[in-house]
Amino acid sequence: MWLLLLAYLGGVLTIVSPCILPVLPFVFARTGQPFVRSGLPLLVGMALTFALVATLAAVGGSWVVHVNQYGRWLALLCVALFGLTLLLPHLAERLTRPLVAAGSRLSQAAGNDARPRPGASLLIGVATGLLWAPCAGPILGLLLTGAALQGANLGTSLLLLAYAAGAATSLAVALLLGGKVYAAMKRTIGAGEWLRRGLGAAMLVGVVAIALGLDTGILAQVSTASTGSLEQALVGRLAGKSANGGGAMMAQNLPPRDAGGGSMMAAGGAMKATAKDPALPIEGQLPALDGAVQWLNSPPLDAQALKGKVVLVDFWTYSCINCLRTLPYVKAWAEKYRDQGLVVIGVHAPEFAFERDVGNVTKAMKNLGITYPVAIDNDYRIWRAFNNEYWPAHYFADAQGRIRYHHFGEGDYAESERVIQQLLREAGNGNVSGGLIQADARGVQQAPDMSTVASPETYVGYQRSEHFVPEASLAPDTVAAYQAPASLTLNDWGLNGQWQVGAERAVASAAGAGIVYRFHARDLHLVLGPGADGKPVRFKVTIDGQAPGAAHGVDVAPEGSGSVTEQRLYQLLRQPGGVGDRTFSIEFLDPGVSAYAFTFG
């Protein structure tokens, strides 16, 4: 509701923006005519058409994100054409000439009619709305960012309609006051034209970046199709901080939990306990899973498909260390209880831009041995339906479709498995397997030693970075030369060499760039990705200035060498003995690597 109110107020303020100027001649042509029969229909038509066109723009922008592999070039062509119309007024004039001519004829006909016809005014409003949609680009871009919090759906249309209604309200007031407002505002027409051209140029830069394969990470910053950085600025302060280690990672870059309610907040009584089983409360109905953009390993699953089944929903993302360490247990439960009535569903909700790529997720699932159904929740619709806040998060539903138990983060695996067994017995299965699974967790998926972890999850991008030194040297979104201090205190980190630090990642601009971190933990991981060309990036790791030897991680040789071949989490150190404050250093021998976040275990 607050977002709708803000959208409406933003529309009201549009009257003081130059981008409203192109529609003013149509509006003030109604001066002196009955407002209800002339001005009001025009404003209604303008607002409805604007909301429709802007919604299509939001859907098209989402399309560019989701069709990285299929239809990419056609989508980019559409966006490029729209950008050119903003940048080149003559092109826009040619494309809209039939519309303008039709609007002029309608305007003239309505103006010559002694009794203004609402239908003609409504059609003029439709034409005006089509003209206004592109000219309002700078403000519309910010609004579409907010609309992305709801996804390209009915909520998006309502948000855009609220903005259009606010603008129509201002125009209605101006219309009632007369044409003096128009004369006063014409002086700002030059600024409005430069705003249009600036937006067009920015869109074309985004198209070039995507066409060159730079959309991983950059797409969230320069393309009008993504909402990452602006969304973070709008709602990041309302969400929680990240908590690394044996707990859960709280989502900071996603829409905050809706405190107003939701299915997961429903209260309820407890089922009558048997002699064996403790009572499990009813926490609410299992939300629908129809918000996924795609399903892997399965056709879409709905309430009918899950009828009579015990369901475990696992929210995860493939570069999250906490999620990776729970997977051995989730996979083992899916295998053990599959024929006894349990359905495990993974909901992949991405944290970083590269995790939106379905190809990346598919490859990760294959490498991780995930065979149960996975819903791709790139729009976070399922996430919001559950009012979820964490990776990983496990929700357990009984055969009647009611949430009976949930667990956030790692650990408590025995308790979770006993809940599965109890819900299967309640469903009427008299032959539920007993005992508890012994998960075979190796490499990155091995359980952490939390007694040794004194370093927090640390983001490399400036949007959420902490403990960067020297802090004054950080140059956001600019290629700069860095030199880390010779001595670091615990949990401080720095850069060496040429880097461009963006909102969610830092990109090495030249060979020899490096990162140093003073940490305290058994394991050190770093989320990395190769350059835009996909070529492997070689690196060298040291600990306290020496080759890691026996302390090397699964992605590093004992002498410290390794290479970044894909976008994922890399285990760089696993110390076999005592843990103390140590200095980690990594040098990238080739340019182009992207560094996202450190995690520890």
Q: Which of 428, 445, 462 is the last residue of a domain?
A: 445
* Bridge partners, 134 (sequence order): none
Residue labelled with tokens 């609309």: 147
Q: Same domain, yes or no, for 82 and 157? A: yes
Give the total number of structural domains in the chain.
Answer: 3
Q: Same domain, yes or no, for 404 and 484? A: no
**pLDDT at residue 234 in the model:** 34
Q: Is the pTM of this model over 0.75?
A: no
Q: Which of 400, 415, 445 is the last residue of a domain?
A: 445
**pLDDT at residue 165 in the model:** 77
Task: Return the structure tokens found at 304.
Answer: 């009918």
Residue 219 lies in a domain: yes
3-state DSSP call for residue 117?
Answer: coil
**What residues have CB less than 8 Å from 502, skipping those under 6 apart?**
217, 218, 221, 461, 462, 476, 477
Taking 3-state DSSP, the helix, strand and coil percentages for the chain, each rounded to the nearest 5, stand at 45, 20, 35
The CATH number linked to 394 is 3.40.30.10
Residue 231 lies in a domain: no
Q: Same domain, yes or no, for 525 and 506? A: yes
Residue labelled with tokens 């964490």: 390
**pLDDT at residue 135 in the model:** 46
Q: DSSP string covering 374-386, please?
A: EEE-TT-HHHHHT
**What residues have CB less than 8 Å from 105, skipping those under 6 apart?**
none
**pLDDT at residue 440 in the model:** 81
**What residues have CB less than 8 Å from 550, skipping those under 6 apart?**
558, 576
Residue labelled with tokens 């004039």: 93
**pLDDT at residue 537 in the model:** 97
Q: Same domain, yes or no, for 307 and 209? A: no
285: containing domain: 249-445
Q: Same domain, yes or no, for 388 and 465? A: no
Residue 458 lies in a domain: yes
Q: Same domain, yes or no, for 316 and 403? A: yes
Residue ranges of the chain whose pLDDT lies below 50: 61-72, 75, 110-116, 134-139, 141-152, 189, 191-192, 213-246, 252-275
Q: Same domain, yes or no, for 414 and 271? A: yes
**For residues 133 and 49, what is the distance between their CA atoms, to the nearest angstrom?**
9
Q: What is the pLDDT of residues 341-355, one digit of tens each?
A: 999 999 999 999 999
Q: Same domain, yes or no, for 176 and 264? A: no
**pLDDT at residue 9 in the model:** 73
Residue 332 lies in a domain: yes
Cα radius of gyration (the chain): 28
Q: Same domain, yes or no, for 316 and 417? A: yes
**pLDDT at residue 73 in the model:** 54
The CATH number linked to 591 is 2.60.120.260
Q: What is the pLDDT of residues 183-218, one digit of tens each?
A: 555 555 454 456 556 656 765 676 666 555 444 333
Q: How many CB atoms are located within 10 Å of the residue 178 CB?
A: 12
Q: Kind and range of the H or E element at 174?
A: helix 154-177
Q: Same domain, yes or no, for 58 and 106? A: yes
